[in-house]
Amino acid sequence: MNPLPLGGSVPPRLLTLTAFGSIAVLLTASAAGAAGEEPLTAILETPALYDEDDADADDPAIWIDEEDPEDSLVITTAKEAGIYVYDLEGDEVQHIEPRPAPGEDDAPGRYNNVDLVTGFRLDGERVDLAVASDRGMDDLGIFAIEDGELVDVTDPDAGTIFTASQEEVNGEHTAYGLATFQNRSGAYALVSRNAESEVALLKLRADGEHVTWDKVRTLHLPAEFDLPNGDTWKPCDDTGQDPQVEGMVVDEATGTAYLGQELVGIWKIAADLTGEPELVDTAVEFGLPGTYDPETDECTYGPDPGYGGDVLHTDIEGLTIYATGRGSGYLLASSQGDDSFAVYDLRGANPYLGGFTIEAGAVDSTQHSDGADVVNASLPGYEGGLLVVQDGDNTPEGADESSTNFKYLAWEDVAEHSGLDLRTDCGRR
């Protein structure tokens, strides 16, 4: 299958905010403030991970133990520090080191994003899998969840995803974001590519006692865009880099994938990457002209032409879905630039419902959130479901070192204190 062509224009509905639309946005914000007078806060947090230890919290996945829900796990990535597994009280129960560098001049493993596959047939049994993208190796780390522990079942001969040599791997245009999904034909992973607008569809396949993958097709999202004034715009970033995707999630009920192109917006497309991608929303900074300065590693921006959206501030990451029924529920997206989460309706054209922030309470507030995951089944201590978000600016009391970690919230609290009149699924455990 050939990749989709590069280039793209923005639907007029995302470029024009009518007076009515402006009033609607203001009313939504006002209503949220009035209804959510009690701030939304996390119940607890995981231990701090420190930069000085090369530990950087990134992405969580919530695994539910169907037989003993109190033994459910939160599986997280920490980049060069590997994978950390926590229980429902936020305590560490397992740590998996990244894979060692293949050579002296090569990078070690770097686990970036993680997601789950349930009921995968492996070696004659049904097992649940944790699947992680390995940016350092340009492949996947696949782990069977056995008796509450992760066991590596990755096929050592599976090969790389995007690159053809170790030299190319060292160029770091490698596996980045990840989301899994399942349908009648099997289990799949969507994997994005660092510094590129490329997303690959992989089919997971058992090979004896191991799990491998086959690349089905590749999607290239637009890297530059035609603006209404006739200009062509590309997001300002490091020279030679295209706008990449990291946060991704699939609505299995409808077979729809949502892809967060960090500096552009949120796309949706069939999960098998067929058809044309459609923009759900664009970043506020969309269309903003900028020039990259390699000496300062920053962009100098010109006047804002006003072509961007009204909600998402780059980077756009942390996509997750809270389902309330077949095809209904909420798409959550982390708006890192203003430390908030945007909420969209899963139905129809995915209208924006409002946003919320996570304030300081029993633990500190959440900023620059990267990955997020939510489940719609009540777990011990988390009525209505569990929402886990990465905190990119964790500030433990008395600590001066930069650190990150993960915050746990009950969905019932999100529904009650976000001011957005969100539903709670009726499932209980």
CATH number at residue 215: 2.120.10.30
Could you tell me how far CA 119 lies from the centroid of its own chain? 23
**Residue 245 pLDDT grade (very low, low, confident, very high; cuts 50, 70, 90):** very high
| Separation between Cα atoms, residue 223 and residue 234, nearest integer Å | 6
Residue 324 maps to a domain: yes
Please give the pLDDT value at position 212: 98
pTM of the model: 0.92
Q: Which residue range(s) make up the domain with 193? A: 8-417
Any domain includes 426: no
Please indicate, yes or no, if residue 14 is contained in any of the structural domains: yes
> Could you write out the DSSP letters of every residue in 57-101?
---EEEEP-SS-GGG-EEEEE-BTT-EEEE-TTS-EEEEEPPPPP
Segment 285-301, tens digit of pLDDT: 999 999 998 888 888 99
Q: Is the dihedral of CA 382, 38, 337, 6 positive or negative?
A: positive
Q: Would you place residue 14 in the very low, low, confident or very high pLDDT band (cuts 50, 70, 90)?
A: low
Split into its structural domains, the chain has a count of 1
Give residue 158's pLDDT band: very low, low, confident or very high (50, 70, 90).
very high
Is pLDDT at 51 greater than 90 in this prediction? no
Judged by DSSP in three states, 186 sits in strand
> Exposed/middle/buried for 31, CB within 10 Å: 0-12, 13-18, 19+?
middle
Q: Is residue 3 part of a domain?
A: no
Asked whether residue 422 is domain-assigned, the answer is: no
Segment 380-426, tens digit of pLDDT: 999 999 999 999 999 866 667 789 999 999 999 999 999 999 999 75
2 pLDDT more than 90:
no
- Residue 429 falls inside a structural domain: no
Q: What is the mean pLDDT of the chain?
A: 91
**Residues 26, 48 contacting (CB under 8 angstroms):** no
Residue 124 is given by DSSP the state T
428 within domain boundaries: no
The per-residue pLDDT for 8 is: 63
Name the residue among 394, 388, 344 with its Cα closest to residue 368.
394
What are residue 141's DSSP bridge partners?
Answer: 132
Is 2 part of a structural domain of the chain?
A: no
Q: Are 157 and 94 in contact (CB under 8 A)?
A: no
Tell me if 414 sits within 8 A of 422, measured CB to CB. Answer: yes
